[in-house]
Amino acid sequence: MESLRDIRQQIKAIKSTQQIMLTMKMISSARIKKAQEQMEQGRPFAQKMAVMIDNLRHDIEDPTSAIHSSPAYKFFDNTGTDPNARALIMITADKGLCGAFNTVVIRETLKWIRQNDDKEKYIFVIGKKGRDFLRRLKAPRTTIIGELIGIFPKASYAHASIIKDAIVKVGFQKKVGVFDIIYNDFKSMASQNLINKTFLPFDFDEIPGQEDLSNFIFEPNMLEIFLTLIPRFMTATIYRFLLESQAAELAARMNAMEAASKNAGEIIDGLSVKLNKVRQESITNEITEIVSGVEALKN
């Protein structure tokens, strides 16, 4: 049977752990509001830029247009790229203790690697957890083309620009025509959606109706503006993905720490009951020994 001292030490250790969990929950709660605000501000910017890009594309896209000879057009049409090459942007957290947040992304990435086993794979990884996983995995024909560690919860537009530059460089040098992205999308404070979709070439099917650009005057011309906006649109879209993942991570950590703290409280309650039982048994045994001693003296 465990001694009272052992049980008290267990309760003390669990209370210390519970305090850490409560502190992490409070930190995540304090940061989640700002992260949500950034995310909500980033969404309409990226969506409106997508509408603008699509409108320009429809107005200047014809068989004789110079757009088809532009290197930037490969982001809309991967003709001429290597069909045996594929790239991925993987977004995880830098730390654990956030439930299944990292696990679902890593599992989906592993599935992506297996599905493209016969191709040359290039991965840009954001987050220490994803980076460590890929380093341990050492998958064949898989190259880490870049990594960003320690950017959360302060992901910025500059970080998105770094990612954009890396994938553009690989896209041109390795003739990679398809870039996928895997990350957790913020749905609500209680849940996140795992997203695995193709980032490049761009898919504008979900963009709402067209706008009439006939009344606008473009300087120097529509094509130049279109080509100038493409990299900015890419950066804005990646930035939105980072903000979504950042908010989702904080929400997941807050919920995980709340659940862990609750479980720790239940364990403490159970150990407290156990402590009282052991103490009561100890008192009962002492009383029995005293009574037995008194009886022995009488005899």
Supply the DSSP string of 23-48, one letter for each residue: HHHHHHHHHHHHHHHHHHHHHHHHHH
pLDDT in tens, 172-206: 888 888 899 999 988 888 888 899 998 888 776 66
pLDDT in tens, 261-274: 888 888 888 888 88
Q: Among all chains, which residue has been given the structure tokens 């940061």?
A: 31
User: In the prediction, which pLDDT does 98 show?
Assistant: 87
In terms of C-beta density within 10 A (0-12 exposed, 13-18 middle, 19 or more buried), how is residue 117 classed?
A: exposed
User: What is the helix (H) or strand (E) element at residue 106, kind and residue range?
Assistant: helix 101-115
pLDDT at 68 over 60: no
pLDDT at 135 over 70: yes
In terms of C-beta density within 10 A (0-12 exposed, 13-18 middle, 19 or more buried), how is residue 273 classed?
A: exposed
What are the structural domain ranges in the chain?
21-256
CA dist 156 and 14 (Å) reads: 37
By C-alpha distance, which of 123, 120, 118, 141 is closest to 133?
123
- Percent over 90 (pLDDT), the chain: 24
Q: How confident is the model at residue 1 (pLDDT cuts 50, 70, 90)?
A: low
User: In the prediction, which pLDDT does 279 show?
Assistant: 82
In terms of C-beta density within 10 A (0-12 exposed, 13-18 middle, 19 or more buried), how is residue 276 classed?
A: exposed
CA dist 88 and 65 (Å) reads: 31
Q: Is residue 71 a contact partner of residue 95, using CB atoms and an 8 Å limit?
A: no
CA dist 44 and 40 (Å) reads: 7
pLDDT in tens, 139-178: 888 889 999 999 988 889 999 999 998 888 888 888 888 8
User: In the prediction, which pLDDT does 138 show?
Assistant: 84
Question: Which of 37-41, 243-247, 271-275 is modeled with the greatest confidence?
Answer: 243-247
The structure's pTM equals 0.82
Phi and psi dihedrals of 62, rounded to 5? -155, 165
User: In the prediction, which pLDDT does 29 show?
Assistant: 80
In terms of C-beta density within 10 A (0-12 exposed, 13-18 middle, 19 or more buried), how is residue 17 classed?
A: middle
pLDDT at 294 over 90: no
CATH number of 21-256: 3.40.1380.10
Degrees (nearest 5) of the Cα angle 258, 261, 267?
A: 145
pLDDT in tens, 81-109: 788 889 999 999 998 888 889 999 999 99
- In this structure, of 117-126, 137-146, 171-180, 242-251, the range with the lowest mean pLDDT score is 171-180
Distances (CA, A) of 37 to 43, 98, 187, 243: 10, 21, 14, 10
Residue 251 is classified by DSSP as H
By C-alpha distance, which of 178, 157, 125, 123 is closest to 238?
157
Average model confidence (pLDDT) for the chain?
A: 83
- In this structure, of 49-53, 87-91, 126-130, the range with the lowest mean pLDDT score is 49-53
Helix-helix angle 157-173:222-298, to 10 degrees? 120
User: In the prediction, which pLDDT does 8 show?
Assistant: 86
pLDDT at 214 over 60: no
User: For the chain, where are the E strands, in sequence order?
Assistant: 85-91, 120-126, 142-148, 179-186, 192-200
